[in-house]
Amino acid sequence: MEGNGYSGSFFQRSKPYIAMISLQFGYAGMNIITKVSLNRGMSHYVLVVYRHAFATAVIAPFAIILERKVRPKITFPIFMQMFVLGLLGPVIDQNFYYAGLKFTSPTFSCAMSNMLPAMTFVMAVLCRMEIVDIKKVRCQAKVIGTIVTVAGAMLMTLYKGNVIHLIWSEHVHTHSSSVPETSNKDWIKGSILLIIATFAWASFFILQTVTLTRYSAHLSLTAIVCFLGTLQSIAVTFVMEHKPSAWTIGWDMNLLAAAYAGIVSSSISYYVQGLVMQKTGPVFVTAFSPLMMIIVAIMGSFILAENIYVGGVLGAILIVAGLYAVLWGKHKEQKEKEAEIIPEPIKENGENGDTTGMIQDIEANNCTGKQRNQANNVTVPSVAITVPTSQAPMIAREAPRA
């Protein structure tokens, strides 16, 4: 029984890690497929529209059926938060990210996305969701990690360096031409676009955390954000794309890119991130992006014959080092919070007159009285004292919905 209990507890603790690692594989596939679609001429504005239309169509039925009894009322402030979430995620983040991806490469885009935890930490501090005590080592690690992460991003942007030749990529390069060469000017332009996209993504995480405290229906929130994002993206596309042919889509890579990104990277990811974020916070959710970079680098070198540059590798190393400095500080902070919470029930029992403490006091007094009577050679008849014992009140806490 104890073994089964330990296994169940270990699985419960591992759920957030399993969920986030699985999402990184989904994101990696999205980067590769989307890059191929963009190189074939698909407009990233249209791709964003179709992506979130697919996401809404997939997630909305589940939200309507599964959360029909627990869906909170949408007030005007909550609706405005949802509207801004749709603007930050589907519109600003996705359009700028796809534009940056078109000018650079999948691996470079994923590496720049590793700035996300540092940006999230800075914004969490500004929003008073994170407390910084510079005298503590964990807070120093967060600050230094943020600075190192920004330095790595600047290095990747300003320094490209020589191409790193991989054994298998040299063979693939002779048979693939899906990744055109980009100039240094386009590379810098793409880097700036990716930084703006990452900033919008960090803002999305912060606002999503706030919204979930007031609107706890995860599926419904995801469906509404995707739907609002679709409407906003349509408006943006009408302004930016004047050719009706840009909306044309068939049974090809463009359809696969839109469907895959909508189902995996929007509907499923938004929902899973919301669940994990409610348990662990926004910083934990952004901690696994280096894994996506490694997966994309391997897949990109095989499938797209992608070139990897020295500047990108050096910058990525700095970004990952800064990332895990921030995560180490976050881990230490979580341990300190757990250590502070554990003694509280014991303290409350003693202060609130817990019957267990009363019995211990009575027994101690009885022992003292017996020792005193034995010392005076006085026989005192034993008196049985019955103290009504009531069980300590059980505090029921609603478990997060899986």
Beta strands in 261-300 (DSSP E): none
Distance separating alpha carbons of residues 278 and 252, to the nearest angstrom: 38
**Which residue has tokens 């019955």?**
386
How does pLDDT run across 15-50, given as a tens digit for each residue?
888 888 888 888 888 888 988 888 888 899 999 999
Task: Return the closest-CA partner of residue 275 out of 389, 99, 91, 400.
Answer: 400
3-state secondary structure of 59: helix
pLDDT tens column, 370-397 = 444 444 444 444 444 343 433 333 333 3
Residue 191 and residue 109 in contact, taking contact as beta carbons nearer than 8 Å: no
The pLDDT score that the predictor gives to residue 383 is 41
Summarize pLDDT for 261-279 with one digit per residue, the tens.
Answer: 888 887 788 778 878 877 7
* Structure tokens given for 343: 């003694």
Residue range 206-220, pLDDT digits in tens = 898 889 889 988 889
CB 89 within 8 A of CB 204: yes
Burial zone of 93 (CB within 10 Å; 0-12 exposed, 13-18 middle, 19+ buried): buried
CB-based contact 195:115 (threshold 8 Å)? yes
Note the pLDDT of residue 180: 55
Any idea which residue has 């990277």 for tokens? Answer: 265
Beta bridge partners of 308: 164
pTM of the model: 0.69
What distance in Å separates the CA atoms of residue 267 and residue 258, rounded to the nearest whole number?
A: 12
